[in-house]
Structure 1
Amino acid sequence: MGQVQAIDQLLTAEEVAAMLGVSTDWVWDHSSRRQLYLPVIPVSDGVLRYRQSQIEAFIAEREAAGRLRRERR
């Protein structure tokens, strides 16, 4: 049989807020714009979930963008 893959956990807005160190309102605001800032999965009416790997990739992208800005100065 093949290897067992780790499940890519779906997170709530509260869990994402804790990971990012922001308020839940910030997460909701950045999940409901026309141009989404956070990668989000609409599950049902008003219920949103976030794939843990995508939030971790978002953090890594923001870190890289911050480093790039500092290097340009």
Structure 2
Amino acid sequence: MRSFAFQHQYGKKPRHAHHIIPANADVFQAYVINQKAVNQNAQQVLTIVAAQLSNIMEAQFGFATNDDSDIVGT
């Protein structure tokens, strides 16, 4: 598992990989495997945030441009 994580992190496997690879290499491998699912969730969250910001901006600019005054000029 450590050599697999090292190959993804540094590109190639050295002769003495057990001296270079950190203790959290198993966590790194899990990150590489689950990266697609994490990115998909992050995209969904960003889409929701963008939709909310769009609604807020639409409401602000709509209020600023629509003048509904009841005073009739004579």
> So what's the TM-score if we normalise by structure 1?
0.35
Decide which structure has greater helix share.
2
> So what's the TM-score if we normalise by structure 2?
0.35
Decide which structure has greater strand share.
1
